[in-house]
Amino acid sequence: MEKGVVYLVGAGPGDPKLITVRGLEAIQRADVVVYDRLASPRLLKHMKPGADKIFVGKLPDKHMMKQEEINQLLVDLALQGKTVTRLKGGDPSVFGRVGEEAELLAENEIRFEIIPGITSAISVPAYAGIPVTHRDFTSSFSIVTGHEYKNKTYNTVNWENLSQASGTLIFLMGVANLETICRQLIEGGKSPDTPVALIRWGTWMEQETLTGTLTDIVERVKAANFQSPAVTIVGEVVKLREKLAWFEKKPLFGKRILVTRARSQASELVDQIDELGGEAVEFPVIRTQAPSGQAAQQALHQAMKRLNEYDWVMFTSVNGVEHFFQTLRELKLDIRSMYKARIAAVGPKTAEALEQYGLQPERLPAKFQGDALPDALEGELKKGQRVFLPTADIARETLPAKLEELGLLVTKADVYETVLDTNGGTDILELLEQNKIHIITFTSSSTVTNLLKALRELGVEKPLELLGGCQIACIGPLTAQTAREAGMQVDYLAEEATVASLVKSMYSKK
C-alpha cells in the first residue's frame, strides 16, 4: 500500500479565521484530522464528508494521549495510506513539539509538510491591545517557554541575561510557574515595577486579560483564580493596553450565539456575529429539500406548467426562490412563460435572490411579513387575478386565505419542504449542558419547533429547561409568537425581517 502524507499544521491562536490559506487547504483534503484543545473545533467544519477526527488534546491535569503515542499515531495513519492533518494550536514550531513528530515521520520515510501558523506569542497580545514592539518602548522581544522540559539536554534559561536581553518578554504555558518567573526576573535585574499582563484564551470568545507588575501579578492571579491556557507578557508595552484594547470592545464580545438557520443560508448571520466579536455556533436544525411526497410533487409540477396563466407570482422566502428555479430547470421550463406575471417578494433578501435571476420584484417594505402582502399591494390586486404561491410545506394558510377573500384565484404549491437535521447535535448538547450558549437565534418558526424536536431526538426530556439559561433572539413577530407559544421568553426582536436587524437587536437593546 502506498504511504500517505502528513500535514503538520499551525491552527493559529484560536480565532478560526486566523488559520493560513495553506492550513485550511490541508484540513479540506485530509482523510483524518488529529487535533488538540488549542485548535479551534470550528475549523473542523471544513473537513470533507466522511473524514475522521481524532482528539488528542492535553488538559492541565490530564494528558489524553502521550506525545510519543501521538507521534506513532501519525505514522500508523500514514502507513494506512491516509492523508493526515495534524492541527496544533498557534505555530507548530514554537513549543509545539513538531520536531518530534516530524522526526518519527522522517525515520519511517513518510512524506510530511510543516505548515506554519500564527503564533499565540504575538497574536494573543495583539488581541489584548498590546503590540510586542513599539518605537517608544522597545524594538526587541523574546519568546520563552514558561514550562521547561525536565529532562532536556541543553542549558536552562539564563535569567540574568534574559532579564536584560529584550524589552518585551513573552512566556507561553507559564501560569503554573508564574511566581518563579517573576522572582527570577527581579533577581536577574528586572525592575519590580515592570508591567505584566496575562491573557487567557486569547483571540477566543472567552478572552480574559489581567494586568499588574512583577511585584503584584502573582497575588492578582491567585485572587482572580486565573487559570491556563494563558500568555504572559512582561514589558513597558503592556501600558498600551488601556489605550489600544479593541477586541473586548466589540459589541458581541463574550457571547456564544447558536445559529439554527439552515446551513445554506447561515453564512451571512455567522459572518456578522463573528465580525462583531461574538462566536457563532452552527446547529442547522432544518434542512430544505424538494418535496418528497408523490402528491406534493405532482401538484407542484402541474402548477409550474401553468406559469403562463398567472397574473402574480409571490415569493415569501429565499428558499422559495431557490427551489422554484431548481424545479424550473428540472422540468425544463422556460422562464419566459411568466411573461405576464408581476412578481412580489417579502423582504429585501427575497428580492435580492430574485434579482440574481434577472427578475425585478415589486418593492415592499422590509418589515412586511407574508401575511401582510395583500395590504402592501392594496390597489394593485384585482378580483379574478390568478396568483401562484410557491411556498414551504409548513407555510401558514393566512396569506392564501386573505388573497381568496379579495376574490383572487390562488394556486398554492409546496416548492420545498423542511426536514429535521440533528447533525452535530451532540456537541451542541454539551455546550448547552455546560451553559456555554448565551443567545439562541431563530430566523423562522420552523427553526423554533425543529430545535425542540432535535433536542428531544438527542434524548432531552425537557428541552425548555435546558434552554432556560439562554436568551432568545427572533427575526420577526411570527417567529417570536411561535417561540412564546412554545414556552420561551423572547429577549431580542428584530425591527425588520433581516439578518442585519436581528444581529443589531442583540447588542442595541436598551
Distance (Å) of CA 387 to CA 247, 303, 321, 354, 397:
51, 11, 16, 17, 14
CA dist 328 and 322 (Å) reads 10
The 8-class DSSP code of residue 175 comes to: S
**Grid coordinates given for 122:** 504575538
488 is catalytic: no
The one catalytic residue among 58, 367, 436, 453 = 58
The one catalytic residue among 36, 91, 414, 421 = 36
Q: Return the SS3 of 408.
A: coil
Distance (Å) of CA 59 to CA 99, 328, 426:
21, 54, 21
58 is catalytic: yes
Nearest CA to 258 among 35, 417, 429?
429
Please report, as a single letter, which amino acid is at residue 26.
A
The one catalytic residue among 47, 173, 205, 488 = 173
> Given its phi and psi angles, is residue 288 left (phi above 0), alpha (psi -120 to 50 degrees) or beta?
beta
The 8-class DSSP code of residue 335 comes to: G
Q: In what order do the strands lie in the sheet with 230-234?
A: 141-145, 168-172, 230-234, 195-200, 208-213
Angle at which helices 67-79 and 98-107 cross, to 10°: 40
CB atoms within 10 A of CB 478: 17
88 is catalytic: no
**Grid coordinates given for 225:** 483564580
CB atoms within 10 A of CB 288: 24
Nearest CA to 95 among 149, 160, 40, 159?
149
Asked if residues 291 and 393 have their Cβ atoms less than 8 Å apart, the reply is yes
CA dist 454 and 428 (Å) reads 11
Would you please indicate which residues are annotated as catalytic (active-site) residues? Answer: 36, 58, 173
